[in-house]
Amino acid sequence: MASPGSLATLFLIVFTDLIGFGIVIPLLPLYAETMNPSPLQFGLLMASFSLMQLFFAPLLGRLSDRVGRRPVLLVSLAGAVVGYLLFAVADSFPLLLASRIVAGVAGANIATAQAVIADLTPPEQRTRGMGLIGAAFGLGFIAGPALAGVLVRISPAAPGIAAAAFSATAMVMTVLLLPESLPPARRGRASQRRAGLLALLHAWRTPELAPLLAVALAVVTGFAAFEVTFAQLVHRRWGLHAGNIAFLFAYAGLLAAAMQMTLVGRLSRRLGERRLLLVGLGGTAVGLLLIASQHSLPALIAVLPVLAFGQAMVMPSLSALVSHTAPGERQGETLGAYQATSSLARVLGPMVGQLALGHLGLGAPALTAAACAVAAAAIAAALPPVGPSRPD
């Protein structure tokens, strides 16, 4: 049974680390442009973080099943510090790329944080616990970009140094405040299991888990396609500059975080994870369709809460359903495979979005993302019961 203190501590650790992530993300393409990379190099830079997560999330998840959650979190947070310091001093494209590779390896720790939630919460409270991770993401994407806008005026290195400081703070908090959640008796049982991409391939061959991974692949690919083209949409359609676009991202992040902190637990208890997932996918599809059809900025701002609601419901319920498919000693491995699938989707999504934007028009990425959400809902509707009993 989770103590409120343990979950609150984990929330603060993840949130603090993700502030650093949020600081770097809006500045990365601007820094890269000053180095005149080729289109291929630019694409590799933007995909490198998710590519590293694809390779390392299953490995770190499986390692956390063997040695415990805290050691993996500490090593990955230390890696994040190194990656952000490299970003701070990067004066060439290879060094900038190296900073994203290191940060991507370290960023695979989200599966470990989700495994801590699975360790600490009973099945019927799992979705609410996973919602804390989503809320930490949302708040990190509010605070991080806002700080980036202030720090970059001090010096180009200041944002990277601040991001490293936030991850270092999260590391200290883990040492001092977060107890190990995986008892010794439940460790080491996965020593002969597959690692890395072999573990991911094995997960896709698991009948109970594969449909959930397919849902994740579809919905995250679609949302990534929309997310990476959203700034282009509002800039071309309404001429917004970067500062105002950042406020729109912060507004959407605030909405999603507030909904995950206040609604996910209540709706999960009332509907169950599977129905909540379907509600979230429906909201996501409707929100994307509304965004694609808007031709005034106030109308866009008015419909963004629909999309924020859908996404706020999808990710915690999907994470909880994935965690229900695995016994306690394999939570890290299973959630690592889920995280790696999401990373693969974040590699595919930007390519899909840019192709749709370039060949089909401004609204096409949102329409494509809506189609992905509908496909995910069709798969989710056919899911067999997973985990504890659900309301009828």
Domain count across the chain: 1
Closest to 13 (Cα-Cα) out of 127, 109, 120, 122: 109
Q: Which of 132, 115, 106, 131 is nearest to 182 (CA)?
A: 115
Q: What is the DSSP letter of 383?
A: P
Amino acid found at 343 = S
- The answer to whether position 297 is within a domain reads yes
Query: Cα–Cα distance between 335 and 341 in angstroms, integer?
Result: 10
Q: Which pLDDT belongs to residue 160? A: 94
Confidence at residue 270, expressed as pLDDT on a 0 to 100 scale: 83
Residue 390 lies in a domain: no
Q: At what angle do helices 297-324 and 110-120 cross, to 10 degrees?
A: 60
Tell me the whole-structure pTM to 2 decimals.
0.70
Query: What are the structure tokens assigned to 85, written together?
Result: 């310091």
* pLDDT score recorded for residue 389: 41
Report yes or no on 361 lying in a domain.
Answer: yes
Domain boundaries, position 209: 4-177+196-381
CATH number at residue 13: 1.20.1250.20
pLDDT digits (tens, 9 = 90+) for 79-88: 999 999 999 9
Give yes or no for residue 190 having a pLDDT over 50: no
Q: Please check whether residue 388 lies inside any domain of the structure.
A: no
Among 159-173, 317-331, 363-377, where is mean pLDDT lowest?
317-331
Decide if 357 is inside a domain: yes
Query: Of 301, 279, 277, whose CA–CA distance to 290 is shortest?
Result: 301
Q: Of 132, 64, 76, give the one whose Cα is nearest residue 108.
A: 76
> Residue 186 domain-assigned?
no
The Cα-based distances of 5 to 12, 82, 223, 309 in angstroms read 11, 29, 33, 27
In a domain, 386, yes or no: no
Query: Who's near 265: CB < 8 A, 6+ residues apart?
Result: 125, 127, 128, 131
| 105-146 per-position pLDDT tens digit | 887 677 778 778 877 777 666 666 777 777 787 788 778 877
| Residue whose token pair is 């609204």 | 363
Ramachandran angles phi, psi of 193, nearest 5°: -80, 170
User: Is the pLDDT confidence value at 2 over 60?
Assistant: no
Alpha carbons within 13 angstroms on the beta-carbon side of residue 356 total 28
Across 50-59, 214-223, 274-283, least confident range: 50-59
Lowest mean pLDDT among 103-107, 263-267, 388-392: 388-392
Any domain includes 184: no
Mean pLDDT of 349-367: 83
Residue 192's pLDDT is what? 46
Q: Greater confidence, 157 or 351? A: 157
Give the model's confidence band at 340: pLDDT under 50 very low, under 70 low, under 90 confident, else very high.
confident
Burial grade of 213 (CB within 10 A; 0-12, 13-18, 19 or more): buried
- For residue 256, pLDDT beyond 90: no
